[in-house]
C-alpha cells in the first residue's frame, strides 16, 4: 500500500454479546487505545483475560458508553 493511499475500513456492526480486543473497543468507545488501557488499569472498564490476550465484553462497552459524562471522569 502506498503512503498516499488510505485503508478504508468497513463499518463494524456492534454486538453486545461479543468480546472485543482493546483496539476495537477503543474505536467503539471513540477514545485512544492508551485511554482504554488507563480505564482498564483503573478498573473503570472490566475485561476478560484469555491467555496473553485481553478482551472487553460488548456489554461493558454498552455500560461505559451509556454512563453520564460526570460518572466517566470527564471534567467538562
Tens of pLDDT, residue by residue over 1-13, are 565 666 666 667 8
For residue 71, tell me if it sits in a domain. no
For residue 25, tell me if it sits in a domain. yes
For residue 4, tell me if it sits in a domain. no
pTM: 0.72
d(CA 19, CA 25): 9
Domain, as residue range, for 29 = 19-65
d(CA 3, CA 75): 37
d(CA 39, CA 27): 14
Q: Identify the H or E element spanning 55.
A: strand 53-57
Tens of pLDDT, residue by residue over 17-37, are 999 999 999 999 999 999 999
For residue 76, tell me if it sits in a domain. no
d(CA 14, CA 34): 21
Specify the number of domains making up the chain: 1
Amino acid at each position: 500500500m502506498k503512503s498516499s493511499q488510505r485503508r478504508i475500513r468497513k463499518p463494524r456492526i456492534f454486538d453486545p454479546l461479543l468480546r472485543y480486543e482493546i483496539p476495537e473497543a477503543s474505536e467503539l468507545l471513540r477514545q485512544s487505545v492508551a485511554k482504554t488501557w488507563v480505564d482498564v488499569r483503573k478498573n473503570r472498564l472490566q475485561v476478560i483475560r484469555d491467555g496473553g490476550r485481553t478482551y472487553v465484553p460488548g456489554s461493558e462497552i454498552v455500560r461505559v458508553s451509556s454512563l453520564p459524562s460526570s460518572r466517566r471522569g470527564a471534567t467538562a
